[in-house]
Structure 1
Amino acid sequence: MFKKLFGKNYTVADFWIWFEKNSQDYYRLREENLNSLFNKLSKQLSKINEDLAFEFSADFIEGKREFIISADGILSAFPDVIDLVENAPQLEGFKIIAFRQKSAVDDISTIEYEDISLGPDDVYFTYRKNGDTLDIVLYLRGYDSDFEEWENAAFILLDTVIGEYDVATKIGSIDMLPYKESPNLKSILELPSLIDKEVTGISL
């Protein structure tokens, strides 16, 4: 009776069976049914973990569409991302990627989030080493602490600059302040090489 009432647990294998069955719809990604497809995919991923998110590449890369599974920066969801990607089947036409990846410096563009535009020239930082991580203070042009959209935009840009995994495992505390000119500030584009040099990060 208990099993009949609640059903069996939804597993990673169940998710991939569902996705493989519907994969061609996600490979084509037609404009007219994007919302429907993304809602269905969100529902399936939420059965694994409600914090999971996803992205698809707009263009094909070497004939494949990139399917990125993300924890949306929430550390507790990282094991589920890793489990999903490590157990993904070989799907023709897709490259399955764990976490939002950092971009090459020349490819980092302005983030448009709600009414906020935030580019690499708008963000500077100071830092303090804290064991295996760095505590950083971000200085943002136009920053207004009354609007939480600023934090969301800043985290998206951080994912682009150093990658979602490194944001969660190599960055400790993150504070945000309005930008003001100072010789002590470093460009956000200096953060990747600084992280590689200074810290190893925490283990998951």
Structure 2
Amino acid sequence: MSLDYSVEFGGLELNPEDLWIYWREEEGHFDLIVYFPNYSEEARSAFVEAAYILLDMAIGEYYVAAGIRYIDHQLLPENPEANGLLPFKALPEVFYEYIDRRG
């Protein structure tokens, strides 16, 4: 899936190509961490709001609200792949596979 867009919110410009995710399925629920290369706690609310816009665009507002139990926001580590992270563009595929497994 091409995530060919960016979001400007609260003085931030976020491009999905720069973001990474970590997800897990626990007790039948989908949990997610979104990693940003320039994340800061001081601007947390802007990052959270922008992330919700990006998530809505990637998998749909309904699934963000009803399908994800937990969402966190963190600073991207230096080597995301070595930390088991996936590019943000992988989210639709892994999320819809999770939905299909649940039936």
Q: TM-score, normalised by structure 2?
A: 0.83
Match of 1:98 in 2: none
Alignment pair present for 1:121 and 2:10? no
Alignment pair present for 1:171 and 2:68? yes
User: 2:7, 2:50 within 8 Å by CA — same for their partners in 1?
Assistant: yes
SS, match of residue 189 in structure 1: helix
User: 1:111, 1:157 within 8 Å by CA — same for their partners in 2?
Assistant: yes
Give the CA deviation at 1:107.
5.4
Change (3 A) 1:107 1:138: closer
**What residue identity is the alignment partner of 1:145?**
E
Structure 1 gaps, min length 5: 1-104
Give RMSD over aligned pairs: 2.0
Question: Deviations for 1:36-92, whole angstroms, at most 9, x for unmatched residues?
Answer: xxxxxxxxxxxxxxxxxxxxxxxxxxxxxxxxxxxxxxxxxxxxxxxxxxxxxxxxx
Alignment pair present for 1:197 and 2:94? no
Q: How many residue pairs were aligned?
A: 98
Question: Deviations for 1:128-186, whole angstroms, at most 9, x for unmatched residues?
Answer: 10234311111111011222111111111111111100111111101111011222110
Alignment pair present for 1:156 and 2:53? yes
Give the CA deviation at 1:108.
3.2
Looking at both structures, which has the greater relative contact order when contacts are Cα pairs under 8 Å and sequence separation is at least 6?
2
- Structure 2 Cα separation of the partners of residues 150 and 176 of structure 1: 8
Q: TM-score, normalised by structure 1?
A: 0.44
**Runs of 4+ that moved beyond 4 A:** none
Higher strand share: 2
Structure 2 gaps, min length 5: none
- Structure 2 Cα separation of the partners of residues 107 and 191 of structure 1: 10
Match of 1:135 among 31, 38, 41: 31
The percent identity for this pair of structures is: 27
Alignment pair present for 1:182 and 2:84? no
Structure with greater Cα Rg: 1
SS, match of residue 108 in structure 1: coil
